[in-house]
């Protein structure tokens, strides 16, 4: 267990509004664990002004990039897929412990250290009534490992899978064989939905290929006509956006996607999940409407009008203003919940020197940037002081966080002094520092990208631009759609960008974010951090499951990242969770996504309930 369970207590939280003489009393909450989840009781009667329809309208600040079962990387995609798809295993959001989902029990590693045996539940079926079998699991793994699948961010995770052996006598049983000991050898399956082979591969194309072929670097998949034809159909837009093609075993089906507006999920009828007692397999709301809204003024109006039933992503400023409104607090539960995720300012550590100037390849320059970020001002103005500083690549809420690392403070004088020592001076009087680099005059000017999914990113960018300008550094702001920006950064086409990393309670595998292989293959090591020494540490860490044994290696890697400062670590992210009180079974979680929408249950008016009896 990652965290020590605290005794359950009941608290009444007092939140000061914008008016210092006014205090808003928020409903008592039952805290089961300070780092796990809180339960929100049903307080008071069902008010006459509350809507009585069983459609839950949920606010999203950002549209998912895709809803493809393998391709895509946005947190909104992952949030929606949990209602339409099923996984072999999951992390229990109440306990933060791994748990079985499609499996009858959570697998244990065999004595060989690399294999484990699995058996699928017999009560779960595809929508056509056919059972989920080991062949579906094999297809899922091959589809993810196929070199032609458009999943560069996640494919590295599958390199550890060597083979899956199906049981010849029982289609529900199979053995997974991994290449070596790995912390995610089982938990790997919690991020990848099991796909129906007969739907995505009706001609059984992948059945003709082995895992060994997909692991073979000399295998030229693009020249294999049969595989190329299958992958083109599999990667097609229909499997990403067309509701009729978004097939899964979960309790909800996508029935509509109006781009930039909303995504509608409807409860499946006569579905196997009707008999389930798991909170993850419930379908209490008849519909879940994910409504995309990036405008904070519009968001505030929608909540005041009770158009929305929930959110985990409205701005801090918006939520605080709403919480000062007695009508809002009468209608909604609202909490700031910590998370394992964090925001950052990434710098291109390996610029080409042509399109992207050779600025941030010098770690001393990167340290200067870190010293010029006005952390306290950013947190006070944008986050209203709610967020905690992030110091390195591991959340301060995890046991292996290195407490000896000290947050780099804002230090304008030291930063400008160091810039001068590094040879950066304003030689032409234009207010921007410059330096002779390889015989060419280079201005300290670059493009700072930020995505437009939430207003906070623009606020961050503007304040950073102003802070850098005081030191003679010119940041040219470039707002971008999230999907476009992430496509650019994966291809190393950026100078600097603002972003966030969504993480969970599980132990870290640093490969995706920090291994040099992830830079070479256009994965998520956007900055280009790393060398042979850090790669060796990462390769060692991902084999150690025992948390106590991981700690010294984790601390060593954290110190390496801290010394190199490939990115400026900004703040531990908070979820701004809101749930309408017309729904019961309300819980808020430290683990992502923070709210389990499918278990929220419409409350009934007590008088109406008596009439029904």
This prediction has a pTM of 0.77
- More confidently predicted of 458 and 36: 458
Domain check: are 362 and 224 in the same one? Answer: no
Residue 386: inside a domain, yes or no?
yes
Domain count across the chain: 2
Full DSSP string of 193-223: ----HHHH-TT--GGGS-HHHHH-TT--GGG
Tell which of 234, 255, 270 closes a domain: 234
Domain check: are 207 and 351 in the same one? Answer: no
Helix (H, G, I), strand (E, B) or coil at 419: helix
Q: What is the mean pLDDT of residues 108-129?
A: 96
Tell which of 234, 269, 290 closes a domain: 234
- More confidently predicted of 3 and 127: 127
CA torsion sign for 393, 394, 400, 404 is: positive
Nearest of 143, 253, 149, 122 to residue 196 by alpha carbon: 143
Residue 48: inside a domain, yes or no?
no
The backbone torsions φ and ψ at residue 47, rounded to the nearest 5 degrees and listed phi first, read -70, 145
Domain that holds residue 125: 86-234
Residue 553: inside a domain, yes or no?
yes
Helix (H, G, I), strand (E, B) or coil at 334: strand
Q: Are 24 and 17 in contact (CB under 8 A)?
A: yes
Query: Distances in Å between the alpha carbon of 481 and those of 42, 292, 294, 359, 575?
Result: 39, 14, 12, 25, 22
pLDDT per residue as tens digits for the range 274-292: 999 999 999 999 999 999 9
The CATH number for 488's domain is: 3.10.105.10
Residue 435: inside a domain, yes or no?
yes
Residue 9: inside a domain, yes or no?
no
Residue 24: inside a domain, yes or no?
no
Residue 239: inside a domain, yes or no?
no
Tell which of 208, 234, 260 closes a domain: 234
Domain check: are 228 and 361 in the same one? Answer: no
pLDDT per residue as tens digits for the range 217-234: 999 999 999 999 999 999
Predicted pLDDT of residue 35: 54
Predicted pLDDT of residue 605: 57
Residue 589: inside a domain, yes or no?
no
Domain check: are 375 and 523 in the same one? Answer: yes
The CATH number for 192's domain is: 3.90.76.10
């Amino acid at each position: 267990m990652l965290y020590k369970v605290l005794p359950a207590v009941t608290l009444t939280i007092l939140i000061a509004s914008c008016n210092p003489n006014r205090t808003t009393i928020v409903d008592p909450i039952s805290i089961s664990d300070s780092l796990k989840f809180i339960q929100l009781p049903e307080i008071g009667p069902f008010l006459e002004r509350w809507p009585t329809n069983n459609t839950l309208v949920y606010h999203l600040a950002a549209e998912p990039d895709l809803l493809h079962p393998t391709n895509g990387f946005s947190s909104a995609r992952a949030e929606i897929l949990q209602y339409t798809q099923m996984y072999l295993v999951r992390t229990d959001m109440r306990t933060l412990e791994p748990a079985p989902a499609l499996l009858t029990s959570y697998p244990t590693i065999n004595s060989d250290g690399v294999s484990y045996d699995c058996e699928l539940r017999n009560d779960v079926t595809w929508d056509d009534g056919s059972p989920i079998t080991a062949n579906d699991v094999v297809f899922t793994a091959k589809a993810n490992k196929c070199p032609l699948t458009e999943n560069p961010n996640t494919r590295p995770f599958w390199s550890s899978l060597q083979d899956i052996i199906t049981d010849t006598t029982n289609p529900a049983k199979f053995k997974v064989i991994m290449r070596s000991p790995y912390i995610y050898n089982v938990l790997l399956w919690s991020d990848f939905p099991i796909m129906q082979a007969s739907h995505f591969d009706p001609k059984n194309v992948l059945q003709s290929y082995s895992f060994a072929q997909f692991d073979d670097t000399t295998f030229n998949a693009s020249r294999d006509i049969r595989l190329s034809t299958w992958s083109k159909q599999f990667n097609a837009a229909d499997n990403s956006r067309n509701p009729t093609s978004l097939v899964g075993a979960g309790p909800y089906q996508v029935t509509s996607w109006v781009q930039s507006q909303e995504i509608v999920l409807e409860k499946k009828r006569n579905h196997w999940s009707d008999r389930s007692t798991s909170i993850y397999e419930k379908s209490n709301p008849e519909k879940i409407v994910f409504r995309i809204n990036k405008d904070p003024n519009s968001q505030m109006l929608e909540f005041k009008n009770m158009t929305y039933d929930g959110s985990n992503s409205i701005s801090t400023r918006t939520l605080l203003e709403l919480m000062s409104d007695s009508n809002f607090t009468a209608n909604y539960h609202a909490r700031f919940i910590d998370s394992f995720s964090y925001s950052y300012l990434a710098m291109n550590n390996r610029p080409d020197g042509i399109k992207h100037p050779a600025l941030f390849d010098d770690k001393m320059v990167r340290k200067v940037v870190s010293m010029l970020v006005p952390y306290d001002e950013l947190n006070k103005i944008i986050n209203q002081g709610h967020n905690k500083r992030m110091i390195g690549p591991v959340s301060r809420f995890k046991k292996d966080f290195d407490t000896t690392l000290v947050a780099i403070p804002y230090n304008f004088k030291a930063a400008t002094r160091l810039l001068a020592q590094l040879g950066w001076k304003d030689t032409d009087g234009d207010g921007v520092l410059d330096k002779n680099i390889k015989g060419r005059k280079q201005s300290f000017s670059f493009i700072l990208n930020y995505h437009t999914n939430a207003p906070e990113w623009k606020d961050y960018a503007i304040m950073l631009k102003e802070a850098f300008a005081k030191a003679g550094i010119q940041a040219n702001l470039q707002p971008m759609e999230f999907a476009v920006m992430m496509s650019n950064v994966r291809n190393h086409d950026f100078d600097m960008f603002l972003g966030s990393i969504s993480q969970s309670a599980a132990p870290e595998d640093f490969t995706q974010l920090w291994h040099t292989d992830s830079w070479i293959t256009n994965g998520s090591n956007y900055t280009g951090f790393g060398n042979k020494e850090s790669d060796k540490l990462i390769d060692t860490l991902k084999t150690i499951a025992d948390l106590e044994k991981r700690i010294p290696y984790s601390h060593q890697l954290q110190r390496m990242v801290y010394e190199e400062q490939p990115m400026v670590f900004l703040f531990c992210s908070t979820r701004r969770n809101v749930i309408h009180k017309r729904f019961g079974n309300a819980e808020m979680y430290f683990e992502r996504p923070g709210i389990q929408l499918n278990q929220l249950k419409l409350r009934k008016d007590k008088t109406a309930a008596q009439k029904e009896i």
